[in-house]
Amino acid sequence: MSEDILLELSNVTTVYGRNKMLLDVSLQVPNGKCACLLGSNGSGKSTLIKAVMGLVKIVEGTIRFDGKDITGQRTYRAVRKGISIVPEGKRIFPKMTVLENLRMGAFTEKKQNEIQNRFEQVFEHFPRLKDRSHQIAGTLSGGEQSMLAIGRGLMSDPKMIIFDEPSLGLAPVLVQQTFEIIHRINESGVTIFLVEQNAHLSLSISDVGYFLQKGKIIAGGTTEELKASDFIQAAYFG
């Protein structure tokens, strides 16, 4: 494996009870780049993310992150190695304040001054959150909640952030803004693994992409290759 691959799945198969969900999935997320995973509802995208986070049962294959085997590892260990996630449906803690939610994002960090710096960084990205830092998160607007989820994902100063359908339920303007933010985070040096249904927008900010269908990778490559492929054109941009 070359050094500039941060996350690598090799022939991964997972199960829910007796049903296999992911079948022999292999993909690579290059270091410092943005990779996207595209696929329709129920194709297994979130399952793939959960496999990386150690939240579903892996029956075959290996997952490596930053040169280390993390297959089936406990979730908090994966987080400590530098993986952060902005989960599907945001999953903020509704009864905590904005500040406490952000603090949760840096749960594995012990140094107080480091945590303070990260609060400042997040507030630079999202000044709105600073104004609302003592508000109960469940009372934020949908757009604000999605800023909070992204801010929380930044708090651990991760090597890689996974975004699971960040555009879900957002108005078109906000979708555009969210993708711009993701792009900016990527440019600041953080590797992005973006899970989406919106192929067009996702490929516009990605370096590589994969297509998942019924638990299998059916196509993958650089953005240029994918855009040039007749098959993808027909299926996703036709």
Partner 1 sequence: MGTEAVIIQILLNGFMLGVQYALIAVGFTLFFGVLDIINFSHGDVFMLGAFVGLTLINLFTKLGWMGGGIYPLTLFMIFFFCMLITGFLGILFERFAVKPVSESPPLMSLLATLGLAIAIREAVRLFYPMGSESKRFPELLAPIFAGTSKAFEIKGVLLRYDTLLIFGIGVAVIIVVSLYINKTMIGLGIRAVAQDSEAAMMMGVNRDMVVDVTFFIGSALAGLTGILNGLFYNTVIFDMGAMAAVIGFSAAVIGGLGNIYGAIIGGFVFALTQAFSAAFIPRGSEYMDVVAFGVLIIFLVFKPSGILGEKMHERV
Ligand X SMILES: Nc1ncnc2c1ncn2[C@@H]1O[C@H](COP(=O)(O)OP(=O)(O)OP(=O)(O)O)[C@@H](O)[C@H]1O
* Closest by Cα among 199, 152, 205, 155 to 178: 205
> With contacts defined by CB under 5 A, how many residues of the chain interact with Mg ion?
3
Look at residue 93 and give the partner it binds from ligand X, Mg ion, partner 1, none, a contact being a CB closer than 5 to 8 Å depending on partner kind: partner 1
Residue 155: count of CB within 10 angstroms of its CB: 22
Look at residue 42 and give the partner it binds from partner 1, ligand X, Mg ion, none, a contact being a CB closer than 5 to 8 Å depending on partner kind: ligand X
Q: Does 43 bind ligand X (CB under 6 A)?
A: yes
Q: Please give the residues from 131 up to 160 whose contact with ligand X meets the rule CB under 6 A.
A: none
Residue closer to ligand X by CB (options 16, 107) is 16
Q: Does 47 bind Mg ion (CB under 5 A)?
A: no
The distance of closest approach from Cβ of residue 79 to partner 1 in the complex, given in angstroms and rounded to an integer, is 4
Binding site for partner 1 (CB under 8 A): 53, 55, 74-76, 79-80, 85, 87, 91-96, 100, 103-105, 107-108, 152, 156
Residues 6+ apart with CB under 8 A from 65: 6, 7, 8, 52, 78, 81, 82, 83, 160
Query: Residue type at 64?
Result: R
Burial of 69 (0-12, 13-18, 19+ CB in 10 A): exposed
Q: Does 45 bind ligand X (CB under 6 A)?
A: yes
Instruction: Count the residues in the chain.
Output: 238
> With contacts defined by CB under 6 A, how many residues of the chain interact with ligand X?
12
Residue closer to partner 1 by CB (options 40, 138) is 138
Residue 100 DSSP one-character state: H
Q: Return the residue of 47, 84, 178, 198 that touches ligand X, per CB under 6 A.
A: 47
* Closest by Cα among 162, 158, 12, 153 to 72: 12
Residue closer to partner 1 by CB (options 18, 95) is 95
Q: Does 218 bind ligand X (CB under 6 A)?
A: no
Ranges of H-type helices in the chain: 45-52, 75-80, 98-105, 112-125, 127-131, 142-154, 172-187, 199-205, 223-228, 230-232
The SS3 call for residue 53 is coil
The distance of closest approach from Cβ of residue 153 to partner 1 in the complex, given in angstroms and rounded to an integer, is 9
Residue closer to ligand X by CB (options 119, 163) is 163
In the complex, which residues of this chain contact ligand X (CB under 6 A)?
16, 21, 39, 41-47, 88, 197
